[in-house]
Structure 1
Amino acid sequence: MVGNQSHETAATGISGGVALKDARTTTAHSAELMRLINGYQVSQALHVAATLGVADHLKDGPQPSDALAQACSAHPASLYRLLRALAAIGVFHEAEGRRFSLTPFGTCLTDDALGSRRDYARWIGTPGMWQSWGNLLHGVLTGEGVTRFTCGVDAWTYRDQHPEERALFDAAMTALSRTEAQAVTEAYDFGRFGCIVDVGGGEGYLLKAILLACPEARGILFDQPQVTATAAGVFASAGLAQRCQVAAGDFFQAVPGAGDAYIMKSVLHDWGECEATEILRSCRRAMPATAMLLAIERVVGPPNQDPSGNSFDLNMLVQYGASERTAQEFQALLNSSGFDLVEVIPTHSPLSIIVGRPAPAA
């Protein structure tokens, strides 16, 4: 009996130890899940800090929270609570006397930092963006763009109706373009092309970077009139006025012809399959048989990977009822639009270069 009792006691001890370990693991997973659930709180805290320009006030050195509150016209005690919360996740650093300084993360919230995220943080908390994300359930249930459901109009029209939010959106996209343009020009040799047509190129920051890197190339920037209004100044300030033409129009109807390369950065992900196909077919009609197509987009990775790409994919559902795509989906899209997929080239940014050429006529 003694031996049996000892055996049972030992077995119970082992079982109890396993159960305790499992409980601790479950608790840790539960805590991590709670952190993810509360991620919206971090987004809003960063939005508020960026809107107030807190990081810019810290560029010259540490400041006490009361001085920051005065500079930001904020309630002192409440601003301290915001800064304390952001310091706890590494955006700022709190020292004795409630003095705050920038960390490497916080530096990226300043207006002039390389890879600045300030304008993006300001934009994501605007009513059109924030309220639409609050209705994500509608998009998942219906497959429809959530902004239209939330605001009554599509995202483009909403921003046209709210110029203050449009300005923040444009600033956020321009900041992204500045970071991404360098990655794209480093990943691909654009110098092989004589004339490069940038379809939907916005204010022209990518095309400017390409032309500066390729002194023999010429460019044509093509977008809607209200978008290209400031582009001429961008090229003139870079000494490129004689090498780049700015043209306005509707890429669903027609794009400039006779280019050697047609580039589109972050255009196709704004549209569903039918619209994206029409844009590509419009390019195909304008392109010589020897021209190349270069679609610069996020490429969603394999299952259980690429959290950033998949989050941006949900953002496309929310804003436009559109999507990011996998490499296989890009191949199918190009094939249905009259192109052959040549290769997919990653860059050191989240974007890849999807290279296509006109398919031979059947």
Structure 2
Amino acid sequence: MPHSDDLLWGAVADISRFAALLTMAELGLADHLAHGPLSTSDLAARCDADAPRLRRVLRELAGMGVVRGAGPDAYDLTERGTALRSDVPDSVRSSIRMLGEEGFWHAMGNLPATVRNGGSAFAARYGHLYEYLAANPGAGKLFDDYMTARAIPFTEGLAKRYDFPDTATMVDVAGGKGHILATVLHANPDMRGILFDLEHVADRARELLAAEGLAERSEVVTGDFFAGVPAGGDVYLLASVLHNWDDDDAVTILRNVRRAMDPGGRVLVLEVVLPDDEAPHLGKDIDMRMLAIFDGGTERSREEYAALLDRADLRLAEVVELGAGASLIEARPR
């Protein structure tokens, strides 16, 4: 078969592989296998599953290299499969569970309807993503865990590759649980931070910042960034924020930041920046999720971000590659 056919049939098979991984993540199979091999019947009993059906999923997972046979009708966890344990630093379990969550599954499965109708099938059924997460605490926790895991590589890149002002106050706009703010404050011990987000996020952020020993150097403020953001910051971080909104809404957010910031301040936009060519790119994959979930949310190119900043009386000063497909766009007042 031609190579293109391999690619297309591989994509068809990927739905089955993802479903098997989702089953592994939801049932916590990697956690149950963490201390050694188990028979299928023992594993089924531990995760309250049907043994014959679980056996078929394990067979698929073995073909993917995340488990391996360990004697008659028994399985063990592989090194690759360890990444699905919930207690390892780079666990992908929450990410898989989030992408298989009911609303997200509906969104991706109805992408054709979204494209045909010109509006997100997810939004039509559930409303805006953040309303959905606020109304569904279980999904909200999954989303927080997913965003934390997804942010680890480029958060470390941000702390190492960007030169923050020594005594600055950074306002992390829509900062979620505070994992990015905590990383930056640890790397810059003379900085202070303000985490700004919706009320239902605030308690989780306070807990994380306190657990990181940063309660004295940080503050959690609640509000709506369409109405305004905390004033007087030296650095305003917008991490994975603007891609959730159409151009007009993104400009509104940026204008509110521009009004709030000190004259010598700066805005840091942390996003995946799309290339101008047709080569495969992580941002193009993520853009399919943005298209499916949001009415107007989109990944953008450098030129498109520069245009948004210009409308908000900001100028694009620098783009810093952070790794893991993410970039940091630094903007300054005009």
TM-score where L is the length of structure 1: 0.87
Verify: 1:138 aligned to 2:144, yes or no.
Answer: no
Alignment length, in residue pairs?
Answer: 333
* CA apart distance, 1:302: 3.6
Task: Give 1:233's aligned amino acid.
Answer: E
> Do the aligned partners of residues 343 and 41 (structure 1) sit closer, same or farther apart at CA in structure 2, a change above 3 Å counting?
same
Q: 2:199, 2:126 → 1: CA distance?
A: 24
* CA apart distance, 1:191: 4.6
Residue 124 of structure 1 is matched in structure 2 by 99
Q: Is the 8 A contact 2:144 2:176 kept in 1?
A: no
Residue 158 of structure 1 is matched in structure 2 by 132
Q: 2:221, 2:74 → 1: CA distance?
A: 51
* CA apart distance, 1:349: 2.2
* CA apart distance, 1:74: 1.0
Q: Is the 8 A contact 1:147 1:318 kept in 2?
A: yes
Residue 86 of structure 2 is matched in structure 1 by 111
Matches within 5 A, 1:1-362: 25-26=1-2, 29-149=4-124, 151-321=125-295, 322-359=297-334
Q: Is the 8 A contact 1:114 1:179 kept in 2?
A: no
Task: Give 1:97's aligned amino acid.
Answer: P
Q: 2:39, 2:92 → 1: CA distance?
A: 24
Q: Is the 8 A contact 1:300 1:306 kept in 2?
A: no
Per-residue deviation, residues 178-207 of structure 1 (Å, max 9, x unmatched) = 444223212212254521111110111110
Structure 1 residue runs without a partner (length 5+): 1-24
Task: Give 1:332's aligned amino acid.
Answer: A
Give the secondary-structure state (helix, strand or coil) at the position aligned to 1:281: helix
Which stretches of structure 1, 4 residues or more, deviate above 6 A after TM superposition? none
Task: Give 2:115's aligned amino acid.
Answer: V
Q: Is the 8 A contact 2:274 2:299 kept in 1?
A: yes
Q: 2:8, 2:305 → 1: CA distance?
A: 33
* CA apart distance, 1:304: 2.7
Q: 1:301, 1:90 → 2: CA distance?
A: 33
Between 253-262 and 158-167, the greater mean CA deviation after superposition: 158-167
Q: 1:316, 1:78 → 2: CA distance?
A: 34
Per-residue deviation, residues 149-171 of structure 1 (Å, max 9, x unmatched) = 2x152222223333322222222
> Do the aligned partners of residues 209 and 139 (structure 1) sit closer, same or farther apart at CA in structure 2, a change above 3 Å counting?
same
Q: Which has the larger radius of gyration?
A: 1
Q: Is the 8 A contact 1:143 1:317 kept in 2?
A: no
Task: Give 2:168's aligned amino acid.
Answer: G
Between 294-303 and 281-290, the greater mean CA deviation after superposition: 294-303
Residue 12 of structure 1 is matched in structure 2 by none
TM-score where L is the length of structure 2: 0.94
Structure 2 residue runs without a partner (length 5+): none
Q: Is the 8 A contact 1:69 1:76 kept in 2?
A: yes
Q: Is the 8 A contact 1:211 1:219 kept in 2?
A: yes
* CA apart distance, 1:123: 1.6
> Do the aligned partners of residues 56 and 183 (structure 1) sit closer, same or farther apart at CA in structure 2, a change above 3 Å counting?
farther
Give the percent of matched residue pairs that are identical in Structure 1 and Structure 2.
36
Q: 1:320, 1:267 → 2: CA distance?
A: 12
Task: Give 1:304's aligned amino acid.
Answer: E
* CA apart distance, 1:281: 0.4
Q: Aligned-pair RMSD on alpha carbons?
A: 1.7
